[in-house]
Chains A and B, each alone.
Chain A
Amino acid sequence: MRKSPVTIRVDRAFGPVVEGEAVVSDEGFSPRYDLDRWSGVITKPGHQLEGVNIRDKILFFPTAKGGIAAGWAFYDIKSKGIAPKALIFGVTNPVMVQGAVFANLTITEGWSRDPRKCIRTGDIVRVDPGVKTIRLLERA
């Protein structure tokens, strides 16, 4: 594994340290409007990630969309074994945070550099909420 200097600092963070494959989106996300919560596949027609399975992924979204439902949705998809490893938001809303805390799922908000410019889908990254950093481990 090649060490990389790409590190993103985040403003707020919760959850365990995780490593996994990044999925980077330009579009916001709602587990209610965009996601099929039985398969873990993003099904909203026209969503930039339509057809992508979020299971075990580290998801980068600039924003959160809508919905109170996320509060239950993350716990539900985690109990179904189809949850992502982490949710990395530019700007999120409290429902996502409450839902992630309830499901003990890693979540962060705010970034020192735009991941869309330095992380690519398929890269392997490490999220460490304790020190509020995301590090690129391996290029796809």
Chain B
Amino acid sequence: MRLTAEERGMLRGARGDTVRRALELQLEVGKFYGARRFVPVTNVHMMGDIEVMGDGGLDHLRRLAQEKARCEIPITTNARCFDFAHAQRLGQDAVEAAKERELIGCLRRMNVMTTDTCINYQTLYQPRLGERLAWGDTGTVIWANSVCGARTNFESGPAAMAAAMTGRVPEYGYHLDRHRRGTFVVEVAAALDDYAEWGALAKRVGESHQSYYAVPVFTGIKRAPTADQLKHLGASLASYGSMAMFHMVGVTPEAPTLAAALGGSRPKEKMRITRADIDRVFAGYRNLDGSCNFVVFSGPQQSLLEMKLLSELFDGRRIHAGTTVFVTTANGVLAAARALGYAQTLEAAGVTILEGVCVYILQNLTRMRAANGWTNMISNSAKIVNTITAHKFNTILRRTRDCVDIACTGVFR
């Protein structure tokens, strides 16, 4: 890689040992991908919690904090595995909770803003077209690249922290024009509405095209999606397909036309998604034992608009005896939802609102599932329907209204 004088100095230790090691990590990744240079970044978003890091990661953070490592670029944190206010009631491990508190302390000492949200693009920072970032959590990355036209690769926790310390990333992948062109076309022949339908579309497209470098171009959109619909589409594409970018002709900034989205290249394939294809996704789930006592609105965290919709759907109702409903959101959204009364409506219905977390990364979730007799998890999020299966849930995607009805009646449909 071609290095600047400043970067060569960093590798010699001019900015300390911690920065030297951070740049060395980035250099190896850059060499792997054949990057020619580093490029500066203006915003960093990292995933770091005890469930994902483990003790090894916590030891690493302790060392960094001890070395007085300091992040120079604004850096925020993703959803974590504990909402401390609910930890005991959820049967989460007190020892792990203490580690999580220590971990948060380490991050704050290193100048990390522990915001605990996976919807930073809705709540914290809206990058501009062409802005270079180092974001982690795949849902944030695909949003930044696709909806904002900003440029970032998937940056995992250690890589994001390195970027915040060095102020740069190696230029490969989605920093380069050639990877941002659409690679295949998806004609959407159905008018999609519910978040779960956008997620179902993403499931169809992502599962059949698993590749970080696959960039679908959606055409034929009859009803342009809202921000939250784009959120569910993107998060699910990233989850099922490991994808980091999509275009939507006439909707996303680098796709004013199909030709522009394809950037002069020929699409490798054209697929067509019909209403029947979407219906088949919903019909494809099986309820293993007839139970429907665990309903989740999470992954990604809920925006204020989603909180409002849920409060309207749950208004005046009670969740069925023996059913648990989790809603997760960011602290700022929750404050607004409380000020507006949405949170109180949800809680009056018996919904548990968890702050700063995502359900599929909750510490102790596998044992929580067993202890509560949760066989099936029902959600309107196609992403969490995919990700939570590691905890041996059987999962079922349903539209938002259906999820609320199932939660309140105890009857599966």
Contacts and interface: CB of A to CB of B under 8 A. Distances in A.
Given A70-B156, A73-B52, A97-B33, A91 B213 contact: yes
Nearest to B118: A68
B53 interface: yes
Interface size class of B (residues with CB under 8 A): 35 or more
B387 A99 contact: no
Given A79-B54, A102-B158, A71 B32 contact: no
A33 B390 contact: yes
A37 B254 CA distance: 39
Nearest to A62: B210
Interface string B226-258: 000000000000111010100000000000000
A79 B387 contact: no
Given A72-B57, A91-B211, A98-B156, A33 B32 contact: no
Nearest to B213: A91
Nearest to B393: A45
Given A66-B238, A102-B25, A72 B158 contact: yes
Interface string B38-54: 00000000011000111
B350 interface: no
A93 B242 CA distance: 8
Contacts, number: 139
Interface residues of A, number: 42
Given A34-B390, A95-B154, A76 B48 contact: no
Nearest to A46: B389
Nearest to A103: B56
Interface in B154-183: 154-159, 172-173
Interface in A61-96: 63-73, 75-80, 91-95
Contacts of B157: 68, 71-72
Contact of A68 (B33, B154, B211): B154
Q: Which of B31, B53, B240 lies at the interface centre, i.e. has the most chain A CB atoms within 10 A of its CB? A: B53
A33 B386 contact: yes
A-B interface, 3 closest residue pairs, ranked by CB to CB distance from nearest: A71-B156, A79-B56, A76-B54
Interface of A: 12-14, 28, 32-37, 43-45, 63-73, 75-80, 91-95, 97-99, 101-102, 107, 109
Given A76-B57, A94-B172, 7 more contacts: A14-B28, A33-B389, A66-B242, A71-B158, A72-B56, A75-B54, A95-B159
